[in-house]
């Protein structure tokens, strides 16, 4: 059974770093996509990063070169390393898994409600 629990959010100054983690209670070596999306109240949800079961990443243009997604299939954990953070990165970040369709951020954004998601962790970046 898929249950996702995020951790690692917090407050940081612009230029700083944060590392988000997501624990998946499903069986190890789960053969499906996982990823992260973010949302600010009143704004559209944004797919941030996705990663296939064999480790192929996909990123939103807004985070390329700054964020790195990885997964440990044996431990069934997902990580998002966020560097060079900007105030516009401030949002609630959610872990997602097993959405229908390809393992890319645009599909994650569109289809996450048909998959699984965690409760979210807040990231705040001050200027």
pLDDT above 90: residue 16: yes
Q: Please answer whether residues 86 and 126 qualify as being in contact, where contact means their C-beta atoms are separated by less than 8 angstroms.
A: no
Summarize pLDDT for 87-120 with one digit per residue, the tens.
999 999 999 999 999 999 999 999 999 999 999 9
Map residue 109 onto helix, strand or coil.
helix
Q: How far apart are alpha carbons 38 and 97 in whole angstroms? A: 14
Angle among Cα 58, 105, 52 to the nearest 5 degrees reads 50
Contact 8, 120 (CB under 8 A): no
- CA dist 53 and 117 (Å) reads 17
Provide the pLDDT for residue 30: 80
Q: pLDDT (tens digit, 9 = 90+) per residue, 26-48? A: 888 788 999 999 999 999 999 99
């Amino acid at each position: 059974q898929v249950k996702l629990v995020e951790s690692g959010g917090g407050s940081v100054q612009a230029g700083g770093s944060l590392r988000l983690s997501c624990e998946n209670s499903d069986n190890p070596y789960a053969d499906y996509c996982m990823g992260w999306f973010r949302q600010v109240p009143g704004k559209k949800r944004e797919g941030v990063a996705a990663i296939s079961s064999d480790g192929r990443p996909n990123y939103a243009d807004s985070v390329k070169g700054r964020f790195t997604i990885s997964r440990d299939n044996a431990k069934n954990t997902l990580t998002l390393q966020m560097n060079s953070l900007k105030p516009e990165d401030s949002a609630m970040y959610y872990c997602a898994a097993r959405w229908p369709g390809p393992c890319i951020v645009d599909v994650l954004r569109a289809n996450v409600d048909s998959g699984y998601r965690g409760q979210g962790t807040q990231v705040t970046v001050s200027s």
